[in-house]
Amino acid sequence: MSDLTQLSVAQCAELLNGKQISSVELCKAFIDQVKRVDPTIQAFLALEEDRVLAAAGESDKRRAAGSPLSAWDGIPIGIKDCISVKDERCSCASKILENFKAVYDAGVIRKLKSSGFIPFGRTNMDEFAMGSSCENSAFQKTRNPRNPECVPGGSSGGSAAAVAANEVPAALASDTGGSIRQPAAFCGVVGLKPTYGRVSRFGLVAFASSLDQIGPITKTVEDSAILLDTIGGHDPNDCTSLETECGGFAEGLKNASVKGLRIGLPKEYYELEGMSDSVRRCAEEAIETFRKLGAETVEVSLPHTKYSMACYYIVATAEASANLARFDGVRYGYRSPHARDVLENYMKSRGEGFGTEVKRRIMLGTYVLSSGYYDAYYLKAQKVRTLIRRDFENAYKQCDILLTPVTPATAFRFGEKSDPLQMYLSDVFTTSLNLSGNCGISIPAGKDPNGMPIGIQLMAPALAEQLLFHTAYAFERR
């Protein structure tokens, strides 16, 4: 093959199963690609070549013996730096965990390994998954492969950039308020946010526990289905993991059709001020494409959408302030060398270890949970969250699936959104999906006049990933 790094997961599997290439050859090709392009892109925080090639060698032995673990045995997958892989660094792109190595595999990593997939390095991210640009990493700024002057999106910018730059065929990431879908749109790849509870969170370093969800970033919709087939399903180690059947998504794509599908267009999303002309035009073209494929469109309303950003940043920061309390300089992670007593150890370790954005969100979360403000902010936000969930339920009575832009504009330049509020508004189209717990996918749909990718977002009811894949796959093929 001329360039193995151009391959999707499905294409890699076809060549491996046909014994046209070996896993070692495949992994070496991606390692070489990382060496070529990552000094510029900076998608990876770490990549242990020896571990990858050793795992690839074991995969080749299994295939030679006629006993591969699955059709995907020997394919490398990038891993966001907040997902635990035993004996590998898990820093969450934060100084406070810079030298921490995971002591166990996350639930999704166990499932990947049981199918023969090979964890391939640690991809960069906004510190503790807090950000929309990948500018908040404590170690480096990942660049958008489509234009290195622009951000790749966040918080999973490293995973999206690695896939877009052909440094790995696919990657795992996490989505708390759009952290898979937004960078996927910015980089021109596919990003899936599964139903809450569909994929185990065991081994995912928590940001906001009721919102976090692991999902794949891939080159194609088919690859996204393949990975959900692999990592989805119940995990007894995660008390929020759903006990429902999960699988057959990739196989189900054979019958993908949108004829007669009712696609809802939430008027609140399309009336938003500040949406760029190119994003609006791309969404309109996507709508017309679906009509030509036989789908129907209907206008629907999600009336509480205007409260979703405020609701999200109250709930998310409140949960973050509680989850990040464990990083205290005592049990593990960074400990300040300047502390003279226990209190100073807490204050200096956290003050020196956490970055600016993480401190901002911890303080916001502590404030909304404090005495006198809990009812006024946090409790009210939880009530609004229920209303947002009901909005989606009512909308799905009128349609099967929703179609919206992913972001108001395409990838912006580094430093362009220095105001935190401006940065938060990058997630205006994505946060409500996490609040509702439903599933959604970002797929490439076009480019702006500067050649930067534009994505569209499809949102479906809880556990309706097969419908989501069918719809996205039909659009992708068109």
How confident is the model over 80-93, as pLDDT tens digits? 999 999 999 999 99
To the question of pTM greater than 0.95 for the whole model, the response is yes
Q: Yes or no: say if 162 and 168 are a contact pair by the CB < 8 Å rule.
A: yes
- Say if residue 1's pLDDT is above 70: no
**DSSP sequence for 174-215:** EESSSTTHHHHHHHTSEEEEPPTTTB--TTBPPSSTTT-EEE
Percentage of the chain exceeding pLDDT 90: 95
pLDDT tens digits, one per residue of 113-135: 999 999 999 999 999 999 999 99
Give the E-state strand segments of 349-419 in sequence order: 401-405
Q: Where are the beta strands (DSSP E) in 69-132?
A: 76-80, 118-123
Q: State yes or no: pLDDT of 326 exceeds 80.
A: yes
Catalytic residues: 80, 155, 179
Domains and CATH numbers, the chain: 4-254 (3.90.1300.10)
pLDDT at 272: 86
> What would the pLDDT profile of 356-399 be if each residue is shown by its tens digit?
999 999 999 999 999 889 999 999 999 999 999 999 999 999 99
HSE-up of residue 364 (Cα within 13 Å, Cβ side): 18
pLDDT for 2 equals: 63
pLDDT of residue 104: 98
- Greatest alpha-carbon span in the chain: 70
Pair 174, 82: CB distance under 8 Å: yes
The stretch 315-327 carries a mean pLDDT of 97
pLDDT bin (cut points 50, 70, 90) of residue 291 is: very high
Residue where the block lists tokens 């395409």: 410
The Cα-based distances of 219 to 96, 156, 443 in angstroms read 33, 15, 9
Once rounded to an integer, what is the mean pLDDT over residues 50-60?
98
pLDDT in tens, 227-262: 999 999 999 999 999 999 999 999 999 888 999 999
The pLDDT score that the predictor gives to residue 273 is: 84
Q: How confident is the model at residue 419 (pLDDT cuts 50, 70, 90)?
A: confident
Per-residue model confidence (pLDDT) at position 16: 98
Q: How far apart are CA 364 and CA 256, in angstroms?
A: 45
